[in-house]
Amino acid sequence: MKYKFKRDDLEINLAPMIDVVFLLLIFFIVASTLNLREVKSNIQLPDTEVVEEKKETEINISVTEEGEVYLGKERVKLTELEERLRNKTEDESIKTLTVFADKEVAFQKVIQVMDIAKKIEVNNLNFALHKSK
């Protein structure tokens, strides 16, 4: 006796595949970001004669490869840094301390700067990175 297998009609259902394609499309539309440089370059601001004085709201500390510490553009010793920072942060408008450290600097120097910032109770401590050229 021969057995005969009935073959079902093979049919590819495209509805789930179309759903997946639309979900991927929506994901990439939502996940993509707008390049802010393109937006900024197209905006032309009107001229004004009124000049508003800009107050400094951020303190920059730089640590060079040799371990030299700069407060803004002025070179300071670590022993003087705490007192200098304390004088600068007495003004309530200064909110942020940003540390720029060379990639070759000894990590201990950065830790010492962080300790000084903690002593004077800086709330916002940022570390800035530079893109490699």
Query: What SS3 string covers 25-75?
Result: HHHHHHHCCCCHHHHHHCCCCCCCCCCCCCCCCEEEEEECCCCCEEECCEE
Residues 6+ apart with CB under 8 A from 49: none
> What pTM value is reported for the model?
0.52
Q: Where are the domains of the chain?
A: 58-128
Query: Per-residue pLDDT tens for 45-103?
Result: 566 666 655 555 678 888 888 888 888 888 888 888 888 888 877 766 666 788 888 87
Overall size of the chain counted in residues: 133
| 79 or 41, greater pLDDT | 79
Structure confidence at residue 132 (pLDDT) = 45
pLDDT > 70? residue 38: no
Task: Evaluate the CA torsion angle 32, 36, 41, 44 in order and state its sign.
Answer: positive
- Would you place residue 18 in the very low, low, confident or very high pLDDT band (cuts 50, 70, 90)? very high
Secondary-structure class of domain 58-128 per CATH: alpha beta
Tally helices (H) and strands (E) across the chain: 4, 5
